[in-house]
Structure 1
C-alpha cells in the first residue's frame, strides 16, 4: 500500500505550472506549433516564434511596470543575479564598494564573494531579530565609492519585505545603482519600475506558476550603459545574453506573469486569510514561535521555530512538504544562514520550518497541517518520558 502524498506547503521553493500556462506553452511545441527559432527572421516559422517571444516580453514588462525592451531573458533568477552583479562590476573602471546583506539568496552572496576576490569591497548588512534590512542601515553603509547595492524584495525564507523603493531613492542620491532580487515578489508586492527607484531586478518564472529554467532581468536606463554580458556567442538580447531563446519557456513565463495578479486582489486576500488561520493555529501550539517581522511581510510565507524538546523537522516530511531552509541550501544539511543571521542558535535553526502557501492551498490543508504538527509535538513530548 503506497503512502499518501504529503500536503504541499513549499510554494516558496517552487510552484506547480498553472494549467493555463501549460496550454500556452504547447503552442510552441510540436510540428504544428510556433517551434521555429526566434532568431530566424527570414521565414514564417521564425517570425511566428519571435512574435510569441515578444508578446511574452510585453506581458512580463506590463506585470512589473517596465518597458518591453528593458526585459532581458535569462535561465532564471540565479543567472539574472549573476548578470546584474558581475555585469555591473565589469562595467566599472575599477573595483568599488558593494552593499548587500547577510540574508540574501546564495546566488547573490556567492557572487558577492567572487567580486570580493576580484578586489571589490563588500559590506554585508546584518538584520535585527525581525529579519529586516532598513533604509537607515543602507544610508549608513553608503560611501562615495559605492557602486552597487543588491537586496532582495522578499526574503525567500522569512517572507519579510524590504523597503527597496525608499532604499533606491537613497542609493540614487549617492550616485550608485540598486539591484533587487525580485524572485519572490511577483504577485505579492506592487512592482512598478516606472516609479520605484530600481535599476536592475531579477525574476524567475517557477516562483509564479511558470516553468523552471526561465527568468528575466529588468535593466533600467541608468544600469544599461554599465552592464556587460556574461554569456557570449550570437549577440542575442541586445548583446546582453547570447543563446537560442527557449520559446516555450518564455511564453510560459509571460503567461504566468500575466496571471500573477496584484496585492489586494481576491486571490491575495484568500491567501492572507489562510495565512492568518495557519499562523493562529501553529502559534497556539506549545514551543512554536514566528521568525521575522510579524507585520512587514507577505502572507504567503511563515517561518517557525519549534522549541519542543525532542522535535525533529524530519518527522513532518511524510505528511507535510515544508522546508527547513531554502531549496538551494538543503543539500548541505547546514542550518539556514538566514536564521543564523537573525541570532538563532544552530539547533534552533535546524528545528525551524518554512511553511509557504500558494494558489492551490485550501483551508482543509491548513487545518490538516496544524493537526499534523500538534500530533508530532505531542509524540515528541511523550517520547521524553
Structure 2
C-alpha cells in the first residue's frame, strides 16, 4: 500500500526532543507522527494510508467503539543497533496476533504487509525519538477501533487503524528488580469462551480494580487465577509467567483461550529449550506455587512481556500471607535469559531464527 505523507507544520524542536527523551519513563512521551488507515465496508475495505502529524482524532459521539467496545491493539518496540540502525523484534508475530484479535472481536483483518508497512513508516518518520539511554526503545502502539456512528449491537462497518509511538525507558520506575505480586481476590481477568486471548482494551480494564488492590497491599502487579476453579495461575495484568523448578523443568500456564499468547512468552520457550531445559505448558496452581517455593523445589519465577521484557518475581502475597521465591532476588536463569533476549533484540548476539527485522 502506498502512503500519503503529510508535512508536519511544527515538529518538536531538537532541543526539546532531547530533553524529553533523556528520561522518558514509559508511555508518557509521544512522538511527532502517526499513521492512519480507514476501513469502509461499503467502499470496498481498506482506504488510503496516511502518515500525518500526531493529533486528536475526530470522532462522532455515536462511534461504535464508545458503546460496544470493538477495539484491539498491539505492543511492539523498535531497538537501536550499534551501527546506528533500527530493528523490530518479530513484527510478523504481532501482525498475526493483531488479526487473531480482530477475528475474535468481529473486526476486519488488515493485510499483514500493510500492518508491517504502517509500523515501518511510523518508526522511520520518528527514529530520532529513540532515547539514547540504556534500555531505551521506541514503543510502538498499533491499534484499531470501530468508528461507524450508530447505536445497535452488531459489528461496525467502518474502522480506523492507527500507529502511534512513544519514547520509552524502563517499564518499572526502579528498573529491573524483583516485583511483588498480589493474588487477585474476587476478580478474574478472563473466562473460557471470552476474550482473554485477544489483545483488547476490555481485558485490561478488567484488571484495574484488582491492580488497585495490589497497590493497596504494597504490591507491584496482580496475578489472576482461573475463572472456573479459582486455583490455577493464569497471568499478570499484562505479562505471562514462567516457573523454574529445581529438577531442570520450567512450567508456564497453557494457552487455553483465557491467556494472551505472548510473543515474548513464545520466544522464551524457544530460548529456554535451547538452554537444555524441559519447558512444559501445563496448569500450575497457586497451592503448588506456594508449596514449591517454601520447599525450595521452585527456584525462580519470571514474568515476561514486550514492555517489561523479562522481570523476576520476588514475593507473592494474598490474605493467607506471603511467600518468597528463592532468596527473593533475581535468579540466575532469569538474568541469563533476559540478557540473551535483549542481546538478540539489540543486535549484539546471533539471530539464527530470523527474529530481528532491520529497518
| TM-score of the superposed pair, with normalisation by structure 2 | 0.26
- The structure in which a higher percent of residues are helix is 1
- The structure in which a higher percent of residues are strand is 2
| TM-score of the superposed pair, with normalisation by structure 1 | 0.24
